[in-house]
């Protein structure tokens, strides 16, 4: 799976030149918006399409505990990420456009300024394999070509040319219809020089409560490039808070119409 990593200073005009040919192709050839011609569904892999917009990476709102309070300040970190299905089909693969925005907010400072915000549009191909069960494992390799300029000539030294994201999870559906999830995520990134790189660990637990899809979320970050503004500064921080997903059903957690429990007798 390949993604495009961009700097916050990318201009709208530049993005317009990149995406204009894609828009023209979809407008001129409507058949291209379906992927059945290259990704036919089988009996094992048939996923009815319920929506074109869905969550991409973790969506969360967390606050931190810095490793060294004398040199670091407590911050609020939040991320919003979604993807759009460019080639909707019922098969095991698809082509997506995604957008992720991540911000660090000095919410505890006197004027509560935002320290940094990163914007990351992507186009990527997804291919699924394996079997459906209570336990699952995902591997997401990503490649990019960073936008390097005179402001950050050594960016590749710290971020490299890609990353590997892996998740191992557990999903359980109770007889009552309620469900719970537990997911452990690992992000690994290696710069091109020395020991520069990134290790990020996440833990996400969704209890079997009768609420919409909010969960407890914890994140530990060690290394460089937590933000593009301070990509060459080493960071060690632990944050915790809440995350949310896009599953509608109150009972099973599957995509579809909201299903509320029947009224008491």
pLDDT in tens, 22-54: 433 444 444 444 555 557 776 666 666 667 888
Fold of 12-244: Outer membrane phospholipase (ompla); Chain C (2.40.230)
The pLDDT score that the predictor gives to residue 69 is 59
Percentage of the chain lying above the pLDDT 90 cut: 28
- Quickly tell me which residue has 């379906």 as its tokens: 34
> CA 69 to CA 16: how far, in whole Å?
42
Q: Which of 83, 79, 122 is nearest to 221 (CA)?
A: 79
C-beta separation of 94 from 87 below 8 A: yes
Stated length of the chain: 265
Dihedral, 171, 100, 256, 62 alpha carbons, nearest 10:
50
Model pTM score: 0.74
Measured distance CA(106)–CA(109) in Å, rounded: 6
142 touches 123 (CB < 8 A): no
Tell me the per-residue pLDDT of 211-249, one tens digit each, with 9 for 90 and over.
667 899 999 999 998 888 888 989 889 999 999 887 766
- Distance, in Å, from the CA atom of 148 to the CA atom of 224, rounded to the nearest integer, reads 16
Would you kindly state where each structural domain of the chain is located, as residue ranges?
Answer: 12-244
Across the chain, where does the E strand assignment appear?
Answer: 53-55, 59-66, 76-85, 93-105, 114-127, 135-143, 162-173, 179-190, 197-206, 214-223, 235-244
Q: What are phi and psi of 215, to 5 degrees?
A: -145, 165
User: How many other β-carbons are positioned within 10 Å of the β-carbon of residue 100?
Assistant: 19
d(CA 224, CA 38): 39
The pLDDT tens digits of the residues spanning 113-171 come to 888 898 889 888 887 765 557 888 888 888 888 777 777 889 899 999 999 999 999 98
Average pLDDT of the residues of the chain:
76
What whole-number distance in Å separates Cα of residue 65 and Cα of residue 219? 11
The answer to whether 101 and 228 have CB atoms below 8 angstroms apart is no
Residue 53 is predicted with a pLDDT of 85
CB-side neighbour CA atoms (13 Å) of 242:
7
Lowest mean pLDDT of 98-112, 139-153, 193-207, name the range: 139-153
């Amino acid at each position: 799976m390949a993604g495009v990593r961009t700097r916050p200073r990318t201009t709208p005009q530049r993005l317009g030149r990149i995406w204009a040919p894609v828009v023209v192709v979809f407008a001129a050839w409507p058949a291209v918006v379906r992927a059945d011609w290259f990704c036919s569904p089988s009996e094992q892999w048939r996923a009815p399409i319920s929506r074109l917009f869905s969550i991409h990476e973790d969506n969360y709102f967390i606050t931190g505990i810095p490793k060294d309070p004398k040199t670091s300040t407590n911050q609020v970190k939040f991320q919003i990420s979604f993807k759009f299905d460019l080639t909707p089909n019922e098969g095991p693969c698809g082509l997506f456009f995604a957008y992720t925005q991540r911000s660090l907010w000095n919410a505890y400072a006197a004027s509560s300024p935002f320290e940094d915000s990163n914007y990351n549009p992507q186009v990527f191909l997804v291919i699924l394999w394996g079997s459906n069960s209570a336990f699952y494992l995902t591997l997401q390799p990503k490649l990019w070509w960073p936008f390097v300029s005179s402001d950050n000539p050594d960016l590749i030294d710290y971020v490299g040319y890609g990353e590997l994201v892996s998740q191992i999870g557990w999903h359980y559906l109770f007889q009552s219809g309620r469900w719970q999830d537990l997911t452990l995520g690992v992000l690994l990134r290696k710069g091109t020089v020395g020991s520069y790189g990134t290790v990020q660990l996440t833990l996400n637990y969704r209890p079997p409560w009768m609420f919409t899809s909010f969960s407890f979320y914890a994140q530990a970050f060690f290394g460089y490039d937590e933000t593009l503004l301070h990509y060459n500064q080493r960071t060690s921080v632990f944050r915790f808070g809440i995350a949310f997903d896009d599953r509608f059903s109150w009972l099973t957690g599957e995509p579809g119409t909201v299903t509320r429990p029947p009224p008491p007798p």
